[in-house]
Amino acid sequence: MFDEVEIRPARGVRLLFSPWARLALLLALLGTGAALLLSHDPRSLLTGTLSHQFTGGAAVAAFALAYGVCTAAFVPRPVLNLLAGALFGSGFGLGAAVAGSVLGAGLAFGLGRVLGQDALRPLLRTRWLRAADGQLSEHGFRTTLALRLFPGLPYWGVNYCAAVARTRWLPFLLATAIGVVPNTAAYVIAGSRAATPGSPVFLLAVGFVVVTALAGGCVGWRRRHRMGGDDAAGEETRELVGASGRR
């Protein structure tokens, strides 16, 4: 009887900390955060709270903290970057946005690594998932830097994919801090000059955003085309090997 009483709690503890239980907790946390942000406009929350409760450097720090939480909960960074520029101008706005980007990336990476990696890694069986996992695991800094410089995937998607892969903490955060600067600066400058949309500075900032988006699309298309060619060559090689074996 005592053995059964001792075994049942042990099984309950193992179930509570199992990979799938932790993944369910991660999904619950993200779903709750997304629901809260959908029910309240993040822009009004940030501007109202910051303008009434914080001033100066405290407002910049509070915005960076809120920025990080919002990005982990799927709020698009371009909206937050424009808001940073409109609230704090180019200099302080860029500092707040970059700090918030790194903070949000670290938060999402930590949640994904602790709560989701063990459950999701066994599911990396398709060709595209294995290729992405290999790039992020073996070339974490270089791959993360490229994804930040030439955005094509959602910011939060890169964070959680890197967490599931074997990317290391320091290269991931360092590449994020460096890679987000150019694109973030363009959005922040555009937000700071939103009152004068015909100014050369605003037009240059918008043009830079468009060029980087197109460059990211071209890089992604070339990479996909190359991977498709490699897969076709591999399939042809396997067919030749199989044919020679049948002879």
For the cut 70, the answer to whether the pLDDT of residue 224 exceeds it is no
Q: How confident is the model at residue 112 (pLDDT cuts 50, 70, 90)?
A: confident
Confidence grade of residue 237 (pLDDT, cut at 50, 70, 90): very low
Reading phi first (left if > 0) and then psi (alpha if -120 to 50, else beta), residue 203 is in: alpha
**Residue 64, exposed/middle/buried by CB under 10 A (0-12, 13-18, 19+)?**
buried
pLDDT beyond 80 at 181: yes
- Residue 25 CB contacts under 8 Å (≥ 6 apart), including other chains: 115
pLDDT mean across residues, the chain: 75
Task: Please state, in angstroms and rounded to a whole number, the distance separating the CA atoms of residues 98 and 68.
Answer: 10
DSSP for residue 197: T
Amino acid at 243: A
* 61, amino acid identity: A
Domain boundaries, the chain: 19-246
Q: Is residue 122 helix, strand or coil? A: helix
Indicate the pLDDT class of residue 104, thresholds 50, 70 and 90: very high
pLDDT band at residue 236 under the 50/70/90 scheme: very low
DSSP 136: H
To which residue do tokens 């690594």 refer? 113
Contact 84, 67 (CB under 8 A): yes
Q: Provide the token pair at 174.
A: 């360092």
More confident residue, 157 or 228: 157
Model pTM score: 0.72
Q: How many CB atoms lie within 10 A of CB 110?
A: 14
Sequence-distant (6+) residues with CB within 8 A of 95 are 60, 64
